[in-house]
């Protein structure tokens, strides 16, 4: 019996060691001075794509640097870590392209600077995103035709953006689920500033549900534009300012946007419901708009 127990313990240790080794190999490293394809801490590679092509499921940066555009086809964490910035400069295309045509995947992006100032089309192109989660934290996305384009196509997709800046694009964040699909959107502490067309677009033939908190949308043509088949969205504690046409505009019968503890300042029109419901919780501030506009109703706080 003792031999059997020892044998089992030995086999368990071997399996555990093997699993740990495989897991360790999935963590790879890049550096501004990296080269080759081993992508270890002592011999880092030079680009995110090299690490991913080598089998990485998690990529970290040893230094700040420019690590090139990347194509993602499965779950991945790309994290340059506190104190480092991983720059992805796009020359006429997308910075990060996500093509996950299959099972739900989780894509986590942290401490990145995506720059399309040389003609990039999309900062994060998730038009090929099937379902799962796209998490963007502590990132800057600037200078693209579209900062982030999120279109879940085969189930429920979660877009979570926090502590990030989406600056000087044509459209900041575009959300467009397909027919029968659900996009869940959580935006916390986001600055969407200087996007020449729309800061946040909620559109498409699917369902969009979510919230924006402690955020700023400013200096666009429209701040928030919602015309998806169904939208259930809450804006809380945010500033919507200096947008040429509308701060918030709804244009579909299935749209319900609720707004609380938020400030509308210096917009052409603060709020406008062409179709749908634009509901105030009675604690918003309107100042210096060309026209404040009108909420469709006011809901008492509970």
Which residues touch 190 (CB under 8 Å, ≥6 apart)? Answer: 161, 162, 163, 164, 165, 166, 212, 215, 216
Question: 0.75 exceeded by the pTM?
Answer: yes
Predicted confidence pLDDT, tens digits, the chain (302 residues): 444 333 344 433 443 333 333 334 499 999 999 999 999 999 999 999 999 999 999 999 999 999 999 999 999 999 999 899 999 999 889 999 999 877 899 999 999 999 998 789 999 999 999 899 999 999 999 999 999 999 998 889 999 999 999 999 999 999 999 999 999 999 999 999 999 999 999 999 999 999 999 999 999 999 999 999 999 999 999 999 999 999 999 999 999 999 999 999 999 999 999 999 999 999 999 999 999 999 999 999 88
Q: What is the pLDDT of residue 139?
A: 98
Contacts 24+ apart (CB under 8 A), 73-77: 73/98, 73/99, 73/100, 74/100, 74/105, 75/105, 75/106, 75/107, 75/132, 76/52, 76/107, 76/108, 77/108, 77/110
Tokens for 291?
């026209």
Cβ–Cβ under 8 Å, residues 58 and 92: no
pLDDT at 165: 98
pLDDT value, residue 91:
87
3-state secondary structure of 2: helix
- The tokens describing 243, both together, are 């947008």
């Amino acid at each position: 019996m003792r031999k059997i127990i020892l044998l089992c313990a030995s086999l368990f240790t071997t399996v555990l060691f093997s699993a740990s080794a495989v897991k360790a190999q999935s963590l790879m490293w890049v550096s501004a001075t990296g080269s080759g394809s081993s992508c270890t801490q002592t011999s880092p590679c030079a680009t995110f794509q090299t690490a991913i092509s080598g089998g990485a499921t998690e990529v970290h940066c040893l230094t700040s640097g420019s690590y090139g555009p990347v194509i993602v086809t499965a779950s991945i964490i790309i994290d340059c870590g506190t104190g480092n910035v991983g720059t992805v400069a796009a020359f006429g295309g997308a910075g990060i392209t996500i093509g996950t045509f299959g099972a739900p995947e989780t894509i986590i992006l942290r401490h990145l600077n995506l720059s399309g100032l040389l003609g990039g089309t999309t900062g994060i192109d998730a038009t090929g995103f099937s379902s799962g989660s796209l998490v963007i934290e502590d990132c800057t996305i600037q200078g693209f035709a579209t900062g982030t384009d999120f279109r879940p196509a085969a189930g429920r997709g979660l877009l979570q953006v926090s502590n990030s800046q989406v600056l000087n694009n044509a459209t900041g964040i575009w959300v467009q689920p397909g027919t029968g699909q659900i996009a869940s959107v959580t935006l916390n502490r986001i600055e969407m500033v200087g996007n020449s067309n729309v800061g946040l677009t909620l559109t498409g033939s699917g369902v969009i549900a979510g919230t924006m908190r402690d955020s700023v949308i400013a200096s666009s043509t429209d701040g928030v534009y919602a015309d998806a088949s169904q939208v259930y969205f809450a804006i809380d504690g945010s500033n919507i300012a200096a947008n040429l046409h509308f701060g918030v505009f709804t244009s579909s019968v299935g749209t319900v946007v609720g707004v609380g503890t938020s400030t509308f300042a210096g917009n052409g029109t603060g709020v406008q419901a062409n179709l749908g419901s634009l509901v105030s919780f009675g604690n918003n501030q309107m100042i210096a708009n060309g026209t404040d506009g009108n909420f469709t109703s006011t809901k008492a706080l509970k």
